[in-house]
């Protein structure tokens, strides 16, 4: 008899070679798998840890989700303490739930929310260098705030997918977006909430928004890019260090409660 545990965790992606387990590399999945097997006194890898999806090297998470089957009956709170006592300080488990054995962290995902942070200012702030993308040229926030709305809806995102993405449909739905002009921290924050995002999609979408904010593209160029379905025309990809996986949604999490402001505009 095993229990299935759903864990929600944050990580600072700076020192990880991404999420997915790889030989000789420090990855989130690799570290968690080692910790879970050690707690269960199993050989490393005997118990698998299934994440909701990958994040790239340098990408952070405020609330990533994974599941695993554990051979002993440990209360959720003891599992939380145990995991945190064994995880390195750049991973923090925030929540543990015992779930039914048919829950799957990846297959059951109904939505994901990502945050992208861009810091402005003449020079790179040493305390933000790993936690925001730095863009020293002036960005007109109001242009971005208008343009980002063009992403909302069901679209073919072929113009916004990196060439390395796996084949398949490029049609995705973005439920809501949000742009915040954080003047206190001289920072622009962009949120995207959708049913799923492809390889580098958000980093390419943000790069287009930045070009619009600098006046290098017309404010509604996203409408055109969605039509032409041509990655070459979107050009740039923003760096990984500004990107955060903010939330993973499963059936029962009500999406309507989040990002109300922009949902009402739909």
Is 107 a residue that touches a copy of itself (CB under 8 A)? no
Residue of 6, 21, 60, 112 interacting with a copy of itself (CB under 8 A): 60
The phi and psi torsions of 31 (rounded to 5 degrees) equal: -65, -45
Can residue 199 be called a binding residue for a copy of itself (CB under 8 A)?
no
CA–CA separation, 116 and 203 (whole Å): 8
Closest separation between CB of residue 9 and a copy of itself, Å?
9
**Cβ neighbours, 10 Å, residue 107:** 9
Among 43, 102, 123, 257, binds a copy of itself (CB under 8 A): 123
Q: At its nearest, how many Å lie between a copy of itself and the CB of residue 150?
A: 31
Rounded least distance, CB 135 to a copy of itself, Å: 15
Give the number of residues in contact with a copy of itself, rule: CB under 8 A. 18
Q: Nearer Cβ to a copy of itself, position 107 or 127?
A: 127
Annotated binding site for substrate: 114
Is 116 a binding residue for a copy of itself by CB under 8 A? The answer is: no
84 counts as binding a copy of itself under rule CB under 8 A: yes
Q: Which stretch binds a copy of itself (CB under 8 A): 49-57, 122-130, 179-187, 247-255?
A: 122-130
From residue 85 to residue 104, the character string flagging contacts with a copy of itself as x (rule: CB under 8 A) and all else as - is ----xxxxxx----------
Q: Looking up tokens 């340098």, which residue turns up? A: 58
Q: Which residues are catalytic?
A: 56
We find the least distance from the C-beta atom of residue 89 to a copy of itself, in angstroms, to be 4
Question: Residues at the annotated binding site?
Answer: 114
Q: How far apart are CA 265 and CA 65, in angstroms?
A: 30
Residues lying near a copy of itself in the complex (CB under 8 A) are found at 10-12, 60, 84, 89-94, 123-127, 129, 131
């Amino acid at each position: 008899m095993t229990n299935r545990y759903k864990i929600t965790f944050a990580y600072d992606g700076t020192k990880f070679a991404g999420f997915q387990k790889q030989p000789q590399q420090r990855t989130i999945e690799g570290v968690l798998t080692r910790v879970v097997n050690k707690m269960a006194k199993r050989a490393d890898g005997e118990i698998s840890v299934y994440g909701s999806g990958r994040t790239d090297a340098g990408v952070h998470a405020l609330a990533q989700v994974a599941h695993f089957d554990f051979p002993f009956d440990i209360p959720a709170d003891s599992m939380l303490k145990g995991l945190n006592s064994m995880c390195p300080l750049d991973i923090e488990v925030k929540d543990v739930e015992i779930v039914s054995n048919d829950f799957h962290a990846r297959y059951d995902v109904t939505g994901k929310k990502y945050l992208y942070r861009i810091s402005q200012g003449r020079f790179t702030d040493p305390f933000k260098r790993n936690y925001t993308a730095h863009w020293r040229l002036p960005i007109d926030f109001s242009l971005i705030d208008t343009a980002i709305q063009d992403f909302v809806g069901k679209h073919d995102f072929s113009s916004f997918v990196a060439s390395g993405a796996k084949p398949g449909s490029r049609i995705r739905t973005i439920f809501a977006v949000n742009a915040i002009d954080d003047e206190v921290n001289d920072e622009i924050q962009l949120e995207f909430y959708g049913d799923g995002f492809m390889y580098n999609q958000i980093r390419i979408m943000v790069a287009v928004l930045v070009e619009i904010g600098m006046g290098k593209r017309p404010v509604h160029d996203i409408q055109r890019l969605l039509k032409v379905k041509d990655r070459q025309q979107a050009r740039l990809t923003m760096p990984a260090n500004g990107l955060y996986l903010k939330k993973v949604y499963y059936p029962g999490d009500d999406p309507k409660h989040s990002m109300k402001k922009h949902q009402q505009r739909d």
